[in-house]
Structure 1
């Protein structure tokens, strides 16, 4: 299985766009893919794929209820499908995740002698109990940019990070502290090693300023993906507006001219998906 979390502490660097299109890229390569949207804000994978009908439904079963041992149905019933990929959508309850996990732990501590409820490990436990690791080839989690229980649960469930990097002052600041963040996550989570699959240069325009910050990324001694995603506002913007991946957009005849122009972008996502899969095939990446 290939599990990873797409995350950067800098907002607006293309985290969700990267996750959504990698889901399709892996699926196009014959893999069964599950995405998990852990971001309580609008604009995550759920919105990207147009699967947010139940996001504000207070009566709907949702991922958070499963994480606090209060499910209203089978976990598999949460999963929605589109474009040949599956997704556990976001729900407004995610906005209260930290508080709900704290309450659930307090209740567990009061009623159980084992005291086995660990807040940072609940997502992984839910996935294991539902048999998800054996059902899917790829699991991609999209948490919010901020640190907290969303990120901790995502990282504990996957043990691996893929980091979008925008070659700009904002992106440089996010990468400069990345080693400390990874070390902090390992300390917080206790018993896992967090693997960094690679930093992915995104929104690259080929300017001298871009190159300055790409050089700064190399100096951080982080693994860098052999693929950089150019600034492709037209295709990515149209895909977002239509709530589809760029692959789905490219298959629409109304976008034939755009598809021909953007073919290299599709190829780069294919190459990036292959790069990620190869790491799991040839190295001891924690799964």
Structure 2
């Protein structure tokens, strides 16, 4: 892969399993032999905790927020934590002030891009886990990656949340003259109901050009999260591994195709 691929996992609707999708996608890419950098932009620090780095969430400065404000004033390598499957830029309690702090900076949507440009030379893929709301922090992820992985529940409320997300992305594209592409839609925590079946059909109809991945509700996914790992690093066999593996393969194939000279 030429340069790092950048992906952000986002949906402004809370409770869709966004962090679980992000961690397991990163685990799948690692399983394919990729060097992965995982960036937890969520001020709640769910991924930081779910990857066994709770102490980093309460660490003293410099933190990720300091790097976003001025990456030249921080040794960025000090922000990177080791994990058996990936390297991690952890979230921190300071990130709760990120939106208001960034709003006072010039070009506030571009700060993460500058940080990743410095860090990504050691990695094949960067996976960014976004907060469950729209604002400057999510703007930074969208601007820096330009590639969306969208978790959504197979329930009717997802229709409105996806419409709002794409309207928001369209405005950001116009403001910054960029193109942000949806790369995968992940129907998450699917249950065996007629309502879920109807929503899966709606996803296919509404976004026919975006690959749809079906993740069934599994307690094993929660156990892996509680153990600070993706499903690829636990001894238990989880049938959803194949879904995340397929997603990782498809994302890499798309990138390879786009890099082939015309």
Q: TM-score under structure 2 normalisation?
A: 0.91
Partner residue of 2:27? 24
How far apart, CA to CA, are the structure 1 residues paired with 2:63 and 2:208?
Answer: 36
Q: TM-score under structure 1 normalisation?
A: 0.83
Partner residue of 1:140? 127
Partner residue of 2:210? 224
How far apart, CA to CA, are the structure 1 residues paired with 2:204 and 2:232?
Answer: 30
Instruction: Answer whether contact 2:150 2:184 (CA < 8 A) is retained.
Output: yes
Post-superposition shift, 1:70?
7.0
Post-superposition shift, 1:282?
1.1
Post-superposition shift, 1:72?
6.2
Gap change, CA 1:84 and 1:70, over 3 Å in 2 = closer
Q: Is 1:268 the equivalent of 2:243?
A: yes
Gap change, CA 1:46 and 1:271, over 3 Å in 2 = same
Gap change, CA 1:56 and 1:133, over 3 Å in 2 = closer
Partner residue of 1:47? 49
Gap change, CA 1:222 and 1:153, over 3 Å in 2 = farther
Provide, for residues 183-203 of structure 1, a one-character-per-residue CA deviation record: whole Å limited to 9, x for no partner: 122134x12111110211111
How far apart, CA to CA, are the structure 2 residues paired with 1:218 and 1:143?
Answer: 24
For structure 1, the 5+ residue unaligned runs are 106-116
Instruction: Answer whether contact 1:121 1:153 (CA < 8 A) is retained.
Output: yes
SS of alignment partner, residue 183 of structure 1: helix
Post-superposition shift, 1:241?
2.1
Counterpart mapping for 1:103-142 below 5 A: 103=104, 105=105, 117-128=106-117, 130=118, 132-142=119-129
Gap change, CA 1:226 and 1:199, over 3 Å in 2 = closer
Instruction: Answer whether contact 2:184 2:213 (CA < 8 A) is retained.
Output: no
Instruction: Answer whether contact 2:103 2:136 (CA < 8 A) is retained.
Output: no
How far apart, CA to CA, are the structure 1 residues paired with 2:16 and 2:79?
Answer: 28
How far apart, CA to CA, are the structure 1 residues paired with 2:190 and 2:99?
Answer: 35
Partner residue of 1:3? 6
Post-superposition shift, 1:13?
0.9
Instruction: Answer whether contact 2:185 2:212 (CA < 8 A) is retained.
Output: no
Instruction: Answer whether contact 1:6 1:161 (CA < 8 A) is retained.
Output: yes
Cα RMSD for the two superposed structures: 1.9
Partner residue of 1:243? 228
Instruction: Answer whether contact 2:71 2:114 (CA < 8 A) is retained.
Output: no
SS of alignment partner, residue 177 of structure 1: helix
Instruction: Answer whether contact 1:40 1:90 (CA < 8 A) is retained.
Output: yes
How far apart, CA to CA, are the structure 1 residues paired with 2:102 and 2:68?
Answer: 8
Query: After the TM superposition, which parts of structure 1 deviate over 6 Å for at least 4 consecutive aligned residues?
Result: none
Post-superposition shift, 1:284?
6.3
Query: What number of residue pairs does the alignment pair up?
Result: 257
SS of alignment partner, residue 10 of structure 1: coil
Instruction: Answer whether contact 1:13 1:165 (CA < 8 A) is retained.
Output: yes
SS of alignment partner, residue 239 of structure 1: helix
Partner residue of 2:184? 198
Instruction: Answer whether contact 2:184 2:247 (CA < 8 A) is retained.
Output: no
